[in-house]
Amino acid sequence: MPAELSPIDKAKYVSARRAVDFVEDGMRVGLGTGSTAAWMVRCLGELVREDGMMITGVATSTRTADLAREVGITVKTLDEVRWLDLTIDGADEFDPNLNLIKGGGGALLHEKIVATASDQMIVIADLSKEVDRLGTFPLPVEVIPFGWQTTKALIEEMLSNVEVLGRAASLRLNGSEPFRTDEGNFILDLHLRRISNPAQLSLVLNQIPGVVENGLFLDICDILVIGNADGTVEVRDINNGTVEHERVDLVGGENLFADNGD
């Protein structure tokens, strides 16, 4: 692994490298979105090109689909494959119960649909994403553009009745314009700081008119792979109740680093 990679990128890489070990020939795999997921897609592409592995990928965003095709992965839609063997994706935050906040990359709706259409969800992350309680990372909420300011006001009113430390909501921007998801929707980022009851919050958020989906991924993650800059990984299996510590080979795969601009 090139020395110029930052410690955080090394941690992302080793978590992605270890996670692709769960992928078997012939599988249908959900491909996540984000910087850590981009490492995973490139690692899978290497297995396809160099080892002849046959997999079908379902991407959670257009940029992931473009990257997957670039590295040689066959990409199909979820409607074409119907169900997936597993999904590998990153997370913006995770708690001890492997509940997640996702959506920092703006693909939370597709990510949640793909993850719940999978037999297994594997999350790849580094230790900086671990928290005692969710909420430090702003919670993304996807809303339709029509009446979004009314939807924002309704969300802020609702937040006064739930146990959170912060109640500010902001429209995500792309330059001076609203950020748009692949579905053409807007994202409101909720700066909550601490979420006492994620299940309750998720339920009430999705009952507000105009809300499409929120970034709380609860009871969806099966396995968490945490990477470290020294090449070690921790694999937590929520279903088996096991925690394993391993080391990932950092030698080889030089082509992965030459053109990964994520």
Is 105 known as a binding-site position? yes
User: In whole angstroms, how large is the CA radius of gyration of the chain?
Assistant: 18
CA distance 28 to 79: 12
Is 90 known as a binding-site position? yes
Is 66 known as a binding-site position? no
**Which residue's structure tokens are 């965003």?**
61
CA distance 145 to 46: 39
Is 196 known as a binding-site position? no
For the question of residue 130 being annotated catalytic, the response is no
Is 92 known as a binding-site position? yes
Residues 6+ apart with CB under 8 A from 169: 141, 152, 155, 156, 159, 188, 189, 190, 191
CA distance 146 to 144: 6
Is 232 known as a binding-site position? no
Closest CA to 67 of 225, 261, 255: 261
93, 111, 142, 213: which one is catalytic? 111
Is 103 known as a binding-site position? yes
Is 72 known as a binding-site position? no
Binding-site residue positions:
33-36, 89-92, 102-105, 129
Q: What residues are annotated to the active site? A: 111
Binding-site residue positions for substrate:
33-36, 89-92, 102-105, 129
